[in-house]
Structure 1
Amino acid sequence: MERRRPSTATTAWIPGRRVRGDPKSPGPLSGHRFAVKDLIDVAGATTTAGNPDWARTHPRPRTTAPVVERLLRSGAALVGKTICDELAFGLEGKNIHYGTPLNPRAPDCLPGGSSSGSASAVARGWVDFALGTDTGGSVRVPASYCGIFGFRPTHGRIPMRGIVPLAPEYDTLGWFARDAATLARVGTTLFGSTEDRLVGSIAVARDAFDLLPEAEHQRLMSIVEHRFPQRRTVTVFTGGRKPWLDAYRFRQGRSAWSLHGPWIERLHPRFAPEIAERFAAAARVTRAEARWADRTAVALARSVHRLLGEDRLLIVPAAPTAALPRESPRRLPMPLYREVALPLGAIAGHSGCPEAVVPVGECDGRPIGLGFVAPRGWDVPLLRW
């Protein structure tokens, strides 16, 4: 194996004094330390959203996000806020202002984004679990790249109050852990439920795996074939991946510009070139495109619900590649990378279904994971499966 070069990144934390919060009472998470992505409000601490101009032009929150309060009341201790891609508008995990967090499992690779710092802190062992957000893959991709467990819940299941939005149609609060037991413990605490249901069958979205580079395709399919011999094979992208991509881009873009466009036009914040380009594209989404996207997203969601039925799990790639090298040529060049990543993320995104990411090993020495999509509301059974 080629020798890895050490990363220059030293931290997953936002600059400045570390944000902390003591447990408010004993509970099921007593003894657990956690971090939160810096889109999530903690009273008295600046929320940077990954951008210094955002931090400079927004007041410090007076209240803490309800999801953080719940964890503190359940016995967990908050030990810091973590770096993220600017306004969560990225999947690679890079931040030109605060630095790109280390990928501890592959130091010469990107950590994945946009919840990069949270994934890094968990993979390093600095915390037991960490909160992130997931709109188009911002928990699922970092979990896969950093070789840890990740969870995106049913859309709307966990309140998003006190969290900087990107596209409310898709925004969810997710989390990371190094082991499945901790991932499930956090989930049952947040959901307040220990419900259990039996999985009826397992299906593999073969056409989703066919989008991957050859090495990743062969590695993941060999794992699926070995571990799930009774699987069924189904097609998700009937009609191709383009409607999934365009519906997501138009809906996300419309919301992102509606929410942040006035601030961008007024302040002209300093963005990384790729972030600025994405907001510029968001500004160009037309009303006709947005209406088409709304109709199409409803139809695509129904197609996923039909595939899942009432008790089926769907296996998909958690990310479009194994962890991306920081400097060497990409396995999938931009913009093709996002043209694969976004449709994969939109399977759970359009349908609003929960998805768990499980690390399954490496491909050419780089971490890689599988995603398991369950019917809406099946969050706890999926975590306990």
Structure 2
Amino acid sequence: MTTATPDQRAKIAQDVGAFVPGPLLQVAATASGPLDGLSFAVKDLIDVAGTVTGGGNPDWQRTHEPAPRSAPVVDRLLAAGASVLGKTITDELAFSLEGVNEHYGTPLNTACPDRIPGGSSSGSASAVAAGLVDFALGTDTGGSVRVPASFCGLYGMRPTHNAISLDGVLPFAPSYDTVGWFARDAELLAKVGDVLLPPAKPAPIETLIIVRDAFAIADAPVAAALRDLCARLGVTQEITVFDGAEADWFEAYRILQGTENWRELGPWITATQPRFGEAIAPRFAGTAEITEDDVARWRPLRDAVRAKLRAQLGGGVAWLIPTAPCTALRKDAPGAGAQIGPFYGRALTLTSIAGHAGLPQINLPVATVDGCPVGLSLVAGAGQDRALLDAARTLIARLAHRAMA
């Protein structure tokens, strides 16, 4: 994209459909720094001064004022020399992993154009994959960076919960919400992390462990392709983490994120009666029906999972899991809608490993199945973000070296 003319870039951007409607948002860097000359896009859940954070829904856009200031995460990138190039489409108020927005369209998955890009950070993933920007910000609660990264063949980072400020970010479920980012290579992913992450210096990751029951959730061809990569890396040690309670992990996530979501957005929904897309409206209706008894039943499980995983994942160790259970779903295949329910159950079970425990996770775009990307994830202990980024670079270099041998 660097050699394209402005008119060519505009045409490509239009075809990709990653940016929100209207004039392309452009904000110059505020200082010189390690990201000099790089451009980034911002998911339309994150404030940029002087613009309305639209949330992927026209009624939200209509009922909110321009942000008086940018989110701190945006300011840090601008101060590091990067410039904003575009606000990106999100699934409505982040309530989807599909990347389909009934109001604004479905951003292109350039890796597999007949398939969905994944969501809810769909536009950010699409913009990076198409080369429209160097990197992009997304948000990730239940997989909204990780799943699009897997589907679109990108590097994607979900940091430790609360490692990066959520000020100026439209909330979904605060105890799970994070700001993450996409890049086309591991070096840039880490370079952005150097700017955004706390300056901790965790021990290097030296031990990789396969999570056997996570691989069992994935489609057989996906699991086989990723296990082959693990073998090439010489990883043989395996553990289980769900211990037969996969359905409970999913249900705990569904209930707890749902009740937080209704607490954050329910008053606006009740007052405004917005028009949601056909697939989105029932999801918000469902969150309104969650009871305190439901929360009381499932919160102890989440707390126990969090304590268990944080105790197991100390310094120097990372787990290997499939990022998503399958390749990107086809947009218009017969019965495509019937795929969504089973997909969510499996995808959110996988993403709940990092989600319940607030752990960092990186998607590595290291395999394909039927010509479409599938991602292998590294999950590390809380606060091990920088070590995880270093491990990602090391693993990619090892795979490249083995491919040349």
Q: Give the TM-score range, shorter chain.
A: over 0.9
Q: Please name the residue that 2:148 is paired with.
A: 142
**Amino acid of the residue matched to residue 333 of structure 1?**
Q
Q: Please name the residue that 1:120 is paired with.
A: 126
Q: Please name the residue that 2:255 is paired with.
A: 250
Determine if contact 2:137/2:181 at 8 Å carries over to the other structure. yes
The yes-or-no answer on 1:83 pairing with 2:80 is: no
Determine if contact 1:134/1:171 at 8 Å carries over to the other structure. yes
Report the Cα offset of residue 246 of structure 1: 1.0
Determine if contact 2:129/2:153 at 8 Å carries over to the other structure. yes
Q: Please name the residue that 1:272 is paired with.
A: 277
Distance 1:151 1:205 in 2: 19
Correspondent of 2:181 among 165, 175, 186: 175
**Partner SS, residue 264 of structure 1:** helix
Correspondent of 2:50 among 30, 44, 54: 44
Q: Please name the residue that 2:29 is paired with.
A: 23
Q: Percent identity?
A: 47
Moved over 4 A (4+): 329-332
Determine if contact 1:348/1:354 at 8 Å carries over to the other structure. yes
- Consecutive unaligned residues in structure 1, runs of 5 or more: 1-7
**Amino acid of the residue matched to residue 271 of structure 2?**
R
Distance 2:379 2:139 in 1: 17
Correspondent of 1:321 among 303, 318, 326: 326
Distance 1:74 1:348 in 2: 28
Tell me whether 190-199 or 321-330 shows the greater mean CA deviation.
Answer: 190-199
Report the Cα offset of residue 243 of structure 1: 1.4
1:1-385 alignment to 2 at 5 Å?
A: 10-191=16-197, 193=199, 195=201, 197-227=203-233, 229-328=234-333, 329-330=335-336, 333-385=339-391
**Amino acid of the residue matched to residue 359 of structure 2?**
C
Determine if contact 2:91/2:120 at 8 Å carries over to the other structure. yes
Report the Cα offset of residue 201 of structure 1: 1.3
Report the Cα offset of residue 9 of structure 1: 5.4
Distance 1:198 1:11 in 2: 39
Distance 1:190 1:223 in 2: 30
User: What whole-Å deviation, never above 9, does each CA across 1:133-163 have from its counterpart, x for those lacking one?
Assistant: 0000000000000001000000001000001
Distance 1:180 1:127 in 2: 15
Q: Which has the higher helix share?
A: 2
Distance 1:28 1:264 in 2: 42
**Amino acid of the residue matched to residue 86 of structure 2?**
G
Report the Cα offset of residue 320 of structure 1: 1.7
**Partner SS, residue 335 of structure 1:** helix
**Amino acid of the residue matched to residue 40 of structure 1?**
I
**Matched length:** 377
Distance 2:298 2:278 in 1: 26
Distance 1:198 1:220 in 2: 23
User: What whole-Å deviation, never above 9, does each CA across 1:176-224 have from its counterpart, x for those lacking one?
Assistant: 0000000000001112537352223111111111111222222222222
**Partner SS, residue 322 of structure 1:** coil
**Amino acid of the residue matched to residue 248 of structure 1?**
Y
Q: Please name the residue that 2:399 is paired with.
A: none
Determine if contact 2:118/2:147 at 8 Å carries over to the other structure. yes
TM-score in terms of structure 1 length: 0.95
**Amino acid of the residue matched to residue 244 of structure 1?**
W
TM-score in terms of structure 2 length: 0.90
Report the Cα offset of residue 366 of structure 1: 1.1
User: What whole-Å deviation, never above 9, does each CA across 1:266-323 have from its counterpart, x for those lacking one?
Assistant: 2111111221111111111110111222211010112222332332100111112112
**Partner SS, residue 128 of structure 2:** helix
**Amino acid of the residue matched to residue 293 of structure 2?**
A
Tell me whether 8-17 or 182-191 shows the greater mean CA deviation.
Answer: 8-17
Report the Cα offset of residue 13 of structure 1: 0.3
Determine if contact 1:43/1:61 at 8 Å carries over to the other structure. yes
Distance 1:196 1:155 in 2: 16
Determine if contact 2:205/2:315 at 8 Å carries over to the other structure. no
Report the Cα offset of residue 61 of structure 1: 1.0
**Partner SS, residue 103 of structure 2:** coil
Please report the RMSD computed on the Cα atoms of aligned residues, expressed in angstroms: 1.5
Distance 1:307 1:56 in 2: 47
Tell me whether 217-226 or 55-64 shows the greater mean CA deviation.
Answer: 217-226
Distance 2:339 2:17 in 1: 27
The 1:371–1:377 alpha-carbon spacing in structure 2 relative to 1, beyond 3 Å, is: same
- Consecutive unaligned residues in structure 2, runs of 5 or more: 1-13, 392-405
Tell me whether 71-80 or 287-296 shows the greater mean CA deviation.
Answer: 287-296
**Amino acid of the residue matched to residue 323 of structure 1?**
A
